[in-house]
């Protein structure tokens, strides 16, 4: 059925959507008695209705057992993180030994840099994309400074060419080749938060390894959004948050991937007792003996309440499946692209989508420049019940999420957008 910007078309697509039941499993903020048009799952995902049940179970067990909840709770806290491992591995295309849920994104990033940023002699530089998420920029700057280097010299940034909004893969590969004998690490956001561009992580990883560098990725905007094959791509490490597309609550627990080839390595790390050999953890003895695999990078006890919220969300993802979600993403985001293009055409082509139109280079997010409107347009949309995201200097980010957004959401957005432009 050829797409058209009509309520009848949108409702027909919702009617035949095999994932439509999942929308009813989330709470929506309200606007004038109706659900808002919520396109900010790339900043904070909506709350699953099951989240309270999962957290309440742990509150009940805390009240019932006190400290003994570590061993006698319905889901014993001493091994709570293990309840997340299988579904996490499935979500990111990894083996179970390669993933662990722990800490939060930037903390995990710093801990992983301890192991995978090992500057020596001429090989001390880090290559990353320009306009990376600020936390990544700050983390990388502080890491090179910690090792005694000048960020202006030690960090190589790859930017879009003049007049373009996304980075060409050939430019990334050319810089890896050019600086090969100087590179200690290639570290890139798997999906750029600003433009919505997905990078070819497998090709970048191979290029980094060819010059003797490690390859790591921040997957904050990729996990739960695009299909990942981290083990297959031979990535050394990756980390992500769980509060965006993974719907696990504000500031919730993060995820970490470390390839199994490093499972029993002697890589240096900052150690903590939750990463120590499980059989001897409670002997409280000196001498850190890491658990094999990603679990060996843990430090502290599991944050059970945030993990409970994450567990509720992972159950939904596991039921829906990333293949089905990606298929809907193409239809849903594709329809948003169609509606924006149509509205732009009758408004002097004022809207420019800067996210790649190639499906190999995008997920559900579309980043849009409204020429001649800027922040005023975003504010008007907000006043009319659209929750989107503004990024300086002039980009509105829109993320129709396949788990809970509908085609009717897209149509409603189009109506509100056209009204705001006028």
Return the axis-axis angle of helices 85-92 and 304-320, rounded to nearest 10°: 50
Q: Using the 8-state DSSP alphabet, how is residue 294 labeled?
A: G
CA pair distance 315, 311, nearest whole angstrom = 6
User: What is the model's pTM?
Assistant: 0.96
How many other C-beta atoms lie within 10 A of the C-beta of residue 122? Answer: 10
**CA–CA gap between residue 57 and residue 44 (Å, rounded):** 24
SS3 422: coil
Q: Are 272 and 286 in contact (CB under 8 A)?
A: no
Sign of CA dihedral 381, 362, 188, 394: negative
Residue 189 phi, psi dihedral angles, 5° rounding: -70, 125
Q: How is the chain split into domains, by residue range?
A: 7-47+322-421, 54-319
Contacts of 166 (CB under 8 A, 6+ apart): 160, 192, 195, 197, 354, 355, 356, 361
**Bridge partners, residue 179, by sequence:** none
CATH number of the 54-319 domain = 3.40.640.10
For 383, phi then psi, to 5°, come to -65, -20
Rounded Cα distance, 394 and 9, in Å: 31
The CATH label, of 3.40.50.300, 3.30.420.40, 3.30.1370.10, 3.90.1150.10, for the domain at 7-47+322-421 is 3.90.1150.10
Omega within 30 of 0 (cis) for the link into 393: yes
**Residue 121 neighbours by CB under 8 Å, 6+ apart:** none
Cα–Cα distance, 415 to 412 (Å, whole number): 5
Q: What is the DSSP string of 31-97?
A: ETTEE-EE-BTTTSPPPBTTHHHHHHHHHHHHHHHGGGHHHHSSS-GGGGGGGGHHHHHHHHT--GG
Confidence (pLDDT) at 185: 98
Going residue by residue through the chain, which has 422 residues, state the pLDDT in tens, using 9 for 90 and above: 788 999 999 999 999 999 999 999 999 999 999 999 999 999 999 999 999 999 999 999 999 999 999 999 999 999 999 999 999 999 999 999 999 999 999 999 999 999 999 999 999 999 999 999 999 999 999 999 999 999 999 999 999 999 999 999 999 999 999 999 999 999 999 999 999 999 999 999 999 999 999 999 999 999 999 999 999 999 999 999 999 999 999 999 999 999 999 998 889 999 999 999 999 999 999 999 999 999 999 999 999 999 999 999 999 999 999 999 999 999 999 999 999 999 999 999 999 999 999 999 999 999 999 998 879 999 999 999 999 999 988 999 999 999 999 999 999 999 999 999 98
Rg for the chain (alpha carbons), in Å?
A: 22
Beta bridge partners of 99: 257
Note the pLDDT of residue 2: 85
Cα 197 to chain centroid distance, Å, stands at: 13
CB atoms within 10 A of CB 272: 16
Q: Quote the Cα angle for 317-318-323, to 5°.
A: 75
Sign of CA dihedral 399, 404, 410, 412: negative
Q: How far is CA 317 from CA 91, 98, 171, 365, in A?
A: 8, 19, 35, 18
* Alpha-carbon distance values, 176 to 19, 130, 142, 162, 202 (Å): 41, 15, 22, 20, 14
Distance of alpha carbon 47 from alpha carbon 147, whole angstroms:
41
Question: Distances from the Cα of 337 to the Cαs of 50, 291, 343, 365, in angstroms?
Answer: 32, 47, 10, 10
What is the full DSSP assignment across 373-413? TTHHHHHHHHHTTEE-EEETTTEEEEB--TTT--HHHHHHH
For residue 263, how many other CB atoms are within 10 A of its CB?
A: 17
Q: Are 108 and 102 in contact (CB under 8 A)?
A: yes
Picking from 140, 153, 288, 159, the residue whose alpha carbon sits closest to that of residue 218 is 140
Rounded distance between C-alpha atoms, residue 129 and residue 112, angstroms:
19
């Amino acid at each position: 059925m050829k797409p058209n910007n009509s309520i009848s078309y949108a409702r027909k697509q919702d009617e035949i959507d095999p994932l439509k039941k999942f929308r009813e499993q989330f709470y929506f903020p309200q606007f004038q008695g109706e659900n808002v048009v919520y396109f900010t799952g790339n900043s904070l995902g909506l709350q699953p209705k099951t989240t309270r049940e999962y957290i309440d179970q742990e509150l009940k067990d805390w009240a019932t057992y006190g400290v003994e909840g570590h061993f006698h709770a319905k889901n014993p806290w001493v091994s709570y993180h293990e309840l997340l491992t299988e579904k996490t591995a499935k979500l990111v295309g990894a083996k179970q030994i390669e993933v662990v849920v722990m800490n939060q994104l930037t903390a995990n990033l710093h801990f992983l840099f301890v192991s995978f940023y090992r500057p020596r002699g001429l090989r001390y530089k880090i290559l990353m994309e320009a306009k990376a998420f600020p936390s990544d920029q700050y983390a990388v700057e502080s890491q090179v400074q910690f090792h005694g280097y000048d960020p202006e010299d030690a960090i190589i940034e790859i930017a879009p060419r003049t007049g373009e909004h996304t980075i060409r893969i050939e430019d990334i590969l050319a810089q890896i080749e050019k600086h090969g004998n100087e590179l200690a690490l290639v570290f890139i956001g798997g999906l750029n938060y600003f433009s919505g561009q997905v990078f070819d992580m497998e090709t970048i990883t191979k290029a980094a390894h060819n010059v003797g560098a490690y390859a790591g990725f921040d997957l904050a905007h990729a996990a739960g959004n695009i299909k990942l094959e981290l083990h297959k791509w031979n990535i050394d490490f990756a980390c992500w948050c769980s509060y965006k597309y993974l719907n696990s609550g504000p500031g919730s627990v993060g995820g970490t991937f470390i390839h199994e080839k490093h499972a029993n390595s002697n890589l240096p790390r900052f150690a903590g007792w939750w990463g120590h050999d499980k059989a001897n953890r409670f002997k409280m003895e000196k001498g850190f003996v890491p658990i094999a695999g990603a679990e060996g990078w843990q430090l502290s006890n599991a944050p059970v309440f945030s993990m409970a919220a994450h567990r509720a969300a992972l159950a939904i993802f596991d039921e829906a499946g990333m293949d089905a979600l990606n298929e809907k993403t193409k239809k849903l985001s594709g329809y948003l692209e169609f509606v924006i293009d149509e509205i732009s055409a009758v408004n002097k082509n004022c809207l420019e989508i800067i996210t790649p139109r190639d499906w190999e280079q995008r997920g559900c997010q579309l980043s849009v420049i409204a020429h001649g409107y800027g922040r005023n347009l975003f504010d008007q949309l907000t006043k009319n019940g659209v929750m989107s995201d503004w990024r300086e200097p002039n980009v509105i980010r829109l993320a129709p999420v396949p788990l809970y957004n509908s085609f009717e959401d897209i149509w409603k957005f189009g109506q509100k957008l056209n009204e705001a432009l006028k």
